[in-house]
Amino acid sequence: MDEEDPNIDEPRPLTHEEREVLTHALTGGRGKVYRNYYAVAAGSTYGQICRDLVLRGLMSATEGDGWGEPMFRYYMVTQAGAHAVGLHLP
């Protein structure tokens, strides 16, 4: 008899803000997938949302913008992240 393991957590649903970040990273707000990045300025409140998505395997992060002191950190949506919002990678 197969019983569900009570110690395995179901993945929690995306928040409205997480869904917006993933969708914007892929569409730029245009409604059509054409890119895969989300730029977060240092100190932005969206940084924590993106870091949480990285921990969940829905985004990955760059080390910085490559021009010395990072002004922006870029996050890219993973295949799992695109699937979570019903989109595809470009």
**Residues 16-74: pLDDT tens digits?**
999 999 999 999 999 899 999 999 987 888 999 999 999 999 999 987 655 555 678 89
Does 58 fall in a domain? yes
pTM of the model: 0.82
Strand-pair partners of 75: 38, 61
Q: Per the domain annotation, does 5 fall within a domain?
A: no
Q: How much is the pLDDT for 72? A: 83
Neighbour-count burial of 53, counting CB atoms closer than 10 A to its CB (0-12 exposed, 13-18 middle, 19+ buried): buried
- Asked if residue 64 is part of any domain, the answer here is yes
Our count of domains for the chain comes to: 1
What pLDDT, on a 0 to 100 scale, did the predictor assign at position 10?
61
Q: Is residue 26 part of a domain?
A: yes
Domain ranges, residue 64: 16-84
Q: What pLDDT sits at residue 67?
A: 59
The pLDDT, as a whole number, for residue 12 is: 84
CATH, residue 60: 1.10.10
Q: Is residue 36 part of a domain?
A: yes
Judge whether 10 lies within some domain. Answer: no
Phi and psi (nearest 5°) for 53? Answer: -65, -35
H-type alpha helices, the chain: 16-27, 46-55, 79-84
Alpha helices in 28-72 (DSSP H): 46-55
